[in-house]
Amino acid sequence: MNRMFGFLIGIFVGALVGSTIALLVAPESGENLRGQIRERGMSFASEVRGAADARRIELKNKLEALRTSSEV
């Protein structure tokens, strides 16, 4: 659990640092760049939710398999 939490913190910090650097060296206008960052952030959040849901389903299936094998 700690490894997963550390990994997620690393992703968040990396995204924050990357977006800050992108804002500083961006050749585009601020409005266009903010729109792109917003879209990427929403896409990233959607991917994280999807991965979390998939992992939750996987863990539920494993738990159910363990419960049924211990009942036999």
**Exposed (0-12), middle (13-18) or buried (19+): which is 34, by Cβ within 10 Å?**
middle
Per-residue pLDDT tens, the chain, 72 aa: give them. 678 888 888 898 999 898 888 777 767 677 887 888 899 989 999 999 999 999 999 999 999 999 988 776
* Length, in residues, of the chain: 72
Decide: pTM greater than 0.85: no
For tokens 């939750």, name the residue: 56
Handedness of CA 23, 26, 30, 35 (dihedral sign): negative
Give the start-to-end residue ranges of the domains of the chain.
2-71
Tokens (6 digits) for 41 = 């952030």
